[in-house]
């Protein structure tokens, strides 16, 4: 039973990392698209929104990298915990996993909102 739990934990971590890689790729593309828009003449009124979006892309790409790193560290700890305690998961490991899940869900929501905001900006610009 505990082995199944550790396997599930590892599958979840792998899934989160894969999703974060996809988000990083998607938002890097958005950042590039925004840069291409800026290379063209823009109305002065849209410059604050362009700056806001650019800053948000930088911040969220950093957040993606930080969370991905934290998940990797958690996986290392889970592997160590499995080897040192005969597969028994301690409370700290589960607590960390739950915290990472919360962080992942919050980031996912933030990224969804930012994506929607950017898509609306692109629609208005065109």
pLDDT, residue 4, reads 41
Q: What is the DSSP string of 79-107?
A: HHHHHHTTTPPPHHHHHHHHHHHHHHHHH
**80: phi > 0 → left, psi -120 to 50 → alpha, else beta; which?**
alpha
The length of the chain is 126
pLDDT, tens only, 43-81: 999 999 999 999 999 999 999 999 999 999 999 887 765
Hey, where are the domains in the chain?
Answer: 2-125
pLDDT surpassing 70 at residue 1: no
For the entire predicted model, the pTM comes to 0.88
Cα 33 to Cα 28: distance, rounded to the nearest angstrom: 9
Q: In this prediction, what percent of the chain has a pLDDT beyond 70?
A: 88
What is the gyration radius of the CA atoms in the chain, in angstroms? 19
């Amino acid at each position: 039973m505990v082995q199944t739990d550790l396997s599930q934990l590892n599958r979840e971590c792998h899934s989160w990392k894969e999703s974060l890689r996809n988000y990083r790729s998607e938002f890097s593309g958005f950042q590039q698209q925004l840069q291409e828009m800026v290379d063209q003449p823009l109305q002065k009124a849209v410059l604050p929104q362009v700056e806001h979006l650019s800053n948000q892309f930088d911040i969220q790409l950093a957040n993606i990298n930080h969370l991905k790193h934290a998940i990797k560290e958690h996986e290392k700890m889970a592997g160590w915990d499995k080897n040192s305690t005969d597969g028994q998961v301690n409370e700290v490991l589960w607590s960390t996993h739950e915290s990472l899940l919360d962080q992942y869900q919050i980031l996912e929501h933030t990224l969804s909102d930012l994506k929607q905001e950017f898509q609306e900006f692109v629609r208005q610009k065109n």
